[in-house]
Amino acid sequence: MEGRKISFVVLAMAGLLTACGSRVWGDDSEISTALAFGEAEECTQNAKTREDTIVKISDCLSEQVPEIDDWAAYVDLKSDGQAYLYQTYDLETEEVYKDWAGSEYLGEYYSVHVSEMWEDHSVSWSTFYVSVNFDKVLWKDMVGLADSEFEVYTLEEWRNSSYYPSLDD
C-alpha cells in the first residue's frame, strides 16, 4: 500500500508539471507572457482537472480491483522490500473493443498499467481500462496468450480465467 501511495504522488506531480507544457520549463519571458495573458490560471485549472482525473481513476480501480492491494503486499514480501507495485495512468482516452477495431465497441477508457518496480527494471503485471465515467473496469490481455478468446475481458471473465494471477507459493 505504501508503494502505491508513493507512485500516486509521483504521478500526480508529473501530471501537474506536464499540464502546463513548456511554460513550466520555459524561460522567464514565457512565464511572464503566460501570466500577462491569464494563461497561468488556465494552466492551473488544467492541472487540477488532470489531478482530479487521476484520483477518480485510482479510486475506481481500488474499489473494483481490490486484489491490487494484495499484489502490492505480495511484491513487498517476496522482494524483501526491494520492489513495489506501481501504477501508470494514461490520461489520453482510447476507444476499446472486445477483440479488435471493428469488433464489439466497449466505449472510451483510460488505461492503467500495473508494474512491479525494481531499482534497475520493471515487470508488467496487468493492464486495466477504466471507463471515462469511472464506473467500469476491464482487463487487457497484453501478451496475446495462445488460448486467449478476446483482447479485453470484463473483471468477472478475467477472474474466472486462467489469466487471473494466483499468489499461492
- 80-138 per-position pLDDT tens digit: 999 999 999 999 999 999 887 678 899 999 999 999 999 999 999 999 999 999 999 99
- Whole-angstrom Cα distance, residue 151 to residue 143? 9
Claim to verify: residue 72 and residue 52 sit in the same structural domain? no
pLDDT tens figures, 9-58: 344 434 444 443 332 333 333 333 334 444 555 655 666 788 999 999 99
pLDDT tens figures, 58-85: 999 999 999 999 999 999 999 999 999 9
> Domain boundary at 29, 57, 85, which?
57
Task: Summarize the confidence of residues 146-158 as an average pLDDT.
Answer: 80
In a domain, 46, yes or no: yes
Total domains in the fold of the chain: 2
Tell me which residue range forms the domain holding 20: 3-57
- Can you tell me which residue has the cell 482537472? 49
* pLDDT score, position 143: 73
Claim to verify: residue 105 and residue 150 sit in the same structural domain? yes
Handedness of CA 49, 14, 44, 59 (dihedral sign): positive
> Domain boundary at 35, 57, 79, which?
57
User: Could you tell me the strand order of the sheet in which 84-97 lies?
Assistant: 84-97, 105-117, 122-131, 137-140, 152-154
pTM of the model: 0.71
Nearby residues of 157 by Cβ (< 8 Å), 6 or more positions away: 139, 150
Claim to verify: residue 26 and residue 81 sit in the same structural domain? no
In 3D, which of 52, 45, 44, 163 has the Cα closest to residue 110? 52
- Can you tell me which residue has the cell 489469466? 163
* pLDDT score, position 147: 59
Residue 50 neighbours by CB distance under 10 Å: 19
Residue 8 pLDDT > 70: no
* pLDDT score, position 48: 76
pLDDT band at 141; cut points 50, 70, 90: confident
* pLDDT score, position 108: 96
CA atoms within 13 Å, Cβ hemisphere of 12? 16
* pLDDT score, position 163: 79
Residue positions counted in the chain = 169
Residue 140 pLDDT > 80: yes
What's the Cα-to-Cα distance from 84 to each of 51, 131, 143, rounded to whole Å? Answer: 22, 26, 22
* pLDDT score, position 11: 45
Q: Are 115 and 125 in contact (CB under 8 A)?
A: yes
In a domain, 143, yes or no: yes
